[in-house]
Structure 1
Amino acid sequence: MARFTFRLPDIGEGIAEAEIVAWHVKIGDRVEEDQQVADMMTDKATVEMESPVSGTVLELAGEVGDQVAIGSALMVVETDGEVSEAPVSEEVEAETPGVEEEKPSPLRGEGWERGSEEQPAPAIQAPLPDGERAQRHVLASPAVRARAQDLGIDLAQVKAEGDRLRHSDLDAYLRYGSGQGYHAPHADRARADEAVKVIGMRRRIAENMAASKRAIPHFTYVEEIDVTALEAMRGDLNDNRGNRPKLTMLPFLIVAICRTVPDFPMINARYDDEAGVVTRHGRVHLGMATQTDAGLMVPVIRDAQDRNVWQLATEIGRLADAARTGKAKPEELSGSTLTVTSLGPLGGIATTPVINRPEVAIIGPNKIVERPIFQGDDIVRAKLMNLSISCDHRVVDGWDAASFVQAVKKLLETPALLFAD
């Protein structure tokens, strides 16, 4: 028998630490080589950690939500034979801030001194409920699994409305399927208070949004656009699309944006406020805010300016599916130069979106509504959509933002111009 310490490897992107978002093993479990043992989240993606050896789990590096430094112990395994541990590379040791040579491992189970204050060792993960092993065979995101574990719910007993369990399925189970029976709305008992630890993607979103609002002086401009002709064109194209994907409004909006930004380079830019440098990008790498079970993610459509509406629709579908299923690659979640955020049919009258720092603008189409409008002396039915843009006032002037939106409006209201050279 031998003890093997599995240290968190360098998982790229120049990061110094990663967050534990899910454990797939507990102390005392038998693990096999290449078995998934944990999900670790960086600023860009969730990475699956696999055990490099077979054996019995002796110790784990903390709880869900804890940060683990690159090169520090993630798990200790008692192996069946002698196993030599791979040393941590000098490059990792040199680039990992806050890791001192004499700092004890948090897995030792002893307190250590930090200055004059003695700190207890991190809590070791408690055994999971009896239904834990059944939960492993249910397709669900780490966030859903964590919530189910906190609530003491066996995921094997929860019915999924789609191909994977979502938070809405847990809500339905809590209301109707937990053995309490159906209660009419007027007879519902108030739910107990629920303390939810802010971890994983939700913590990243919270940190990024707070940093954006603290650092960027936002302003928002909203304009109404008549998309009657565009909606008629979209309907005709969808009726004759063959085996191509169905077109939403988004591909047309992206084409309009890409055709407009060359005249407004300050919109398609990133601002390094520490260096005092604004980079105006020639290519449009368009971020697409996407809601997932774990929270908001922003996959990136590379070189959007080179794609037509059908190609954009295909790429939008592919990236959205990859983000929602957790299969998006790190390079697909970084490098955007401008972002579009859309709530689809929930779009509301107007939005004031928060800029995806270090970008300087974010565009938000709102819900399409039918209303009567005047055309000369006549009153006609029209399909109208408000378009919102939030900008960094340090880089973009109000006049420029308004002029940009007006140029986009002209293209959307005269959709033939979208396809003209």
Structure 2
Amino acid sequence: MAYEFRLPDIGEGLHEAEVLTWFKNIGDPVKENENLVEVQTDKAVVEISSPVAGTIHSFGAEVGDVVKVGEILFTVLENTNTAAITENKTIIQQESTQETSFRHQAIQQDSRQTQINLLPKQRVIAAPSVRKLARDLGIDITEVTPTGKAGKVTEEDVRSFSAPANKEVAAAIMPVAPKVVSAVQPQQVTIDELAEEIREPIRGLRKRIYENMTLSESKAVHCSGMDEVVVTRLVDLRKQLQPHAEKVGVKLTYLPFFVKAAVKALKRHPIFNASVDDERMEICYKKHIHIGVATATEAGLIVPVIRHADQKTILEIAEEIQDLSIRARERKLRPHELTGSTFTISNTGGNGGWYATPIINYPEVAILGVHSIKRKPIVQDDQIVIGDVMGMSITFDHRIIDGAPSNAFMTDVHSFIENPELLILEGK
């Protein structure tokens, strides 16, 4: 019996997912709960397993295709007995052979005489990042000899495979341009001699970022304000607290203090802890405070969420940020950990610039930017001294928030950061 698996709603508000990798081929046996496909949702990479055991009959989409919720993702011929399994696989292979023969004949009739390998590819064990690297380099990962444990293809395997073909392209992690044969005098043309540009499909997480940024810019009216904050006392306080945090295995950065300062300001200015319902023309004030923390990964920018941040101490927030950041870079975050934020903070870090204008995480109404801390001359008690100064910015939806409320919000955040003792005085 054929079992049709339709794409479920595997995250909050999910409408579709992009197919990144198929772990099996048509005609392969699959076990119950065995991972079969990797997809990219709006927020995360998710591996989907087969609910039944049997033989793969068909795929509803190819790598790079987008499947909507409710559409068929794959079909499995369920196991009934050994004979049935063998028969099913034989039938599928026969169908595949007939289709391959037909396609091959059609290709042979093409005037270009293009040669294409139509044989099914073997199962390859490799991490998503390694598969992406292979795609970027234009490499068929099934041709790479694995050296990792249990026959796993590693990043080094892919790079070693690509090096003889084109070392410059491999080093730049760029897709390999196709070789072109002249119709008059057959010869190979190198990339430098032929290509004026190299194109790469916008897929996966980058596609989601592309779509979300476009949505935010097309919906919200962005307006940004900027400020300088003297953070000398914050720098000193963090140094005092670091040894205590290290004893419990927590890396104490500046970000937990910024989260706490934002939380306290959000309580005073609830309009910033809101979202917009454009269809109903309503402002949705949130009862809870869930802080999104923009995090850079190799695949792109994602926003893990610290839920109920107002109910946590600075140390608890630091511990959660540490955990979320590690798992974000390892692509191990669950969908619910990437959704539901009510306000977002963008931290450009010590290597970032002095100011930036971050894009609102729509449908939120504002985003706080905290930037690099530098030693600069400041005026203190009518004296010029050297202090620690940080650039800070706020981008808000000017349709909902005016300049005066924005200034008031920034003033409060500014005050809490300049006087960090106030952040720990009340604990949670």
Alignment partner of 1:391 out of 393, 396, 404: 396
Partner AA of 2:216 in structure 1: S
Q: Which residue, 232, 236, 250 being the options, matches 2:236? A: 232
Alignment of 1:253-402 (within 5 A): 253-402=258-407
- Give 3-state SS (helix, strand or coil) of 2:271's partner: coil
**1:44 and 1:7, CA in 2 relative to 1: closer, same or farther beyond 3 A?**
same
Distance in 2, matches of 1:228 and 1:253, equals 14
In the other structure, the counterpart of 1:66 is 65
Distance 1:200 1:251 in 2: 30
Measured in 2, the distance between the counterparts of 1:293 and 1:179 equals: 25
CA contact under 8 A between 1:32 and 1:55: conserved in structure 2? Answer: yes
Partner of 2:229, secondary structure, is strand
1:134-154 per-residue CA deviation (whole Å, 9 max, x = no partner) reads xx1x43437625635734467
Superposed CA offset, 1:365-404 (max 9, x none)? 0111112223245332111110111000011111211221
1:214/1:244 Cα in 2 relative to 1: closer, same or farther (>3 Å)?
same
| Conservation of the 8 A alpha-carbon contact between 1:6 and 1:52 | no
Are 2:146 and 2:154, in contact at CA under 8 Å, matched by a contact in 1? no
Instruction: Tell me which amino acid in the other structure corresponds to 1:413.
Output: E
One-letter code of the match for 1:20?
V
Structure 1: which amino acid aligns with 2:223?
F
Tell me how large the CA RMSD over aligned residues is. Answer: 3.5
1:214 partnered with 2:202: no
* 2: CA distance, partners of 1:221 / 1:157: 52
Q: Counterpart in 2 of 1:118?
A: none
The CA distance in 2 between the partners of 1:402 and 1:174, in whole Å, is: 55
Q: Is the 8 A contact 2:374 2:390 kept in 1?
A: yes
- AA in 2 matched with 1:40: V
Runs of 5+ unmatched residues, structure 1: 85-108, 110-124
CA distance in 1, matches of 2:43, 2:201: 20
Deviates more, 1:147-156 or 1:43-52: 147-156
C-alpha contact (below 8 Å) 2:29/2:55 kept by paired residues = yes
Structure with a larger share of its residues in helix: 2
3-state DSSP of counterpart to 1:289? strand
Instruction: State the partner residue of 1:144.
Output: 132
| TM-score w.r.t. length of structure 1 | 0.76
Cα drift, residue 324 of structure 1:
2.4
Deviation at 1:80, TM superposition (A): 5.5
Q: 8 Å contact 1:212–1:354 — kept in the other structure?
A: yes
Task: Determine the structure 2 residue equivalent to 1:23.
Answer: 22
Does the CA-based 8 Å contact 1:21-1:40 persist in structure 2? Answer: yes
1:64–1:199 Cα contact (<8 Å) kept: no
Q: Tell me the alpha carbon deviations over residues 256-315 of structure 1, each in whole angstroms, 9 at most, x when there is no partner.
A: 111122221111111112111112224311011112233222111111111111000011
Distance change >3 Å, CA 73–CA 263, structure 1 → 2: closer
1:78: Cα distance to partner? 5.1
Once residues 373 and 146 of structure 2 are traced to their aligned partners in structure 1, the CA distance between those partners, rounded to angstroms, is 40
Give 2:186's aligned residue.
none
Change (3 A) 1:155 1:343: farther
364 and 27 in structure 1: CA distance in 2 versus 1, 3 angstrom threshold: same
Distance verdict in 2 for CA 1:181–1:274, change over 3 Å: closer
Give the deviation of 1:41 after TM superposition: 2.9
Name 2:4's counterpart in structure 1: 6
Query: In 1, Cα distance between the equivalents of 2:421 and 2:307?
Result: 25
Aligned residues: 365
Which amino acid is the alignment partner of residue 282 of structure 2? V
Aligned to 1:90: none
SS in 1 for 2:384: strand
What CA deviation, in whole Å up to 9, does each residue of 1:35-84 have, x standing for no partner? 21111233343332222444444432232221224443323445654799
Q: Which amino acid aligns with 1:280?
A: Y
Query: Contact 2:9/2:15 (CA < 8 Å) preserved in 1?
Result: no
Question: Which residue is 2:408 aligned to?
Answer: 403
Larger radius of gyration: 2
- Residue 61 of structure 1 contacts residue 74 of structure 1 at CA under 8 Å; is this kept in 2? yes
2:129 alignment partner AA: S
Distance 2:13 2:225 in 1: 37
Compute the displacement of 1:220 (Å).
Answer: 0.7
Q: Is the 8 A contact 1:8 1:68 kept in 2?
A: no
Q: Partner residue of 1:120?
A: none
Within the alignment, does 1:413 sit opposite 2:415 as a pair?
Answer: no
SS in 1 for 2:236: helix
Following the alignment from structure 1 to structure 2, what is the Cα–Cα distance between the partners of residues 6 and 142? 30
Q: Tell me the secondary structure at the aligned position of residue 272 of structure 2.
A: coil
